[in-house]
Amino acid sequence: MLARAVGIWCVLLAVASVNGALRETVLIPRSGALVGRIVSTLLLSAFILVLAWLTIGWIAPRTRKAAWLVGLVWVLLTLAFEFLAGHFLFHNSWSSLLEDYDVLRGRIWPLALITTFLAPRFCASARGYV
Domain count, the chain: 1
What angle (nearest 5°) sits at the alpha carbon of residue 120, between those of residues 10 and 47?
A: 60
Where in the sequence is the domain holding 77, given as residue range(s)? Answer: 2-126
Q: What is the pLDDT of residue 54?
A: 98
Q: What is the pLDDT of residue 52?
A: 98
CA gap 81, 12 in Å, rounded: 12
What are the pLDDT digits (tens) for 27-70? 999 999 999 999 999 999 999 999 999 999 999 999 999 999 99
What angle (nearest 5°) sits at the alpha carbon of residue 6, between those of residues 52 and 23?
A: 65
Q: Looking at this protein, which amino acid is placed at residue 31?
A: S
What are the pLDDT digits (tens) for 59-116? 999 999 999 999 999 999 999 999 999 999 999 999 999 999 999 999 999 999 999 9
Long-range pairs, 15-24, Cβ under 8 A, ≥24 = 15/44, 15/47, 15/51, 16/44, 16/78, 19/43, 19/44, 19/47
* The model scores a pTM over 0.85: yes
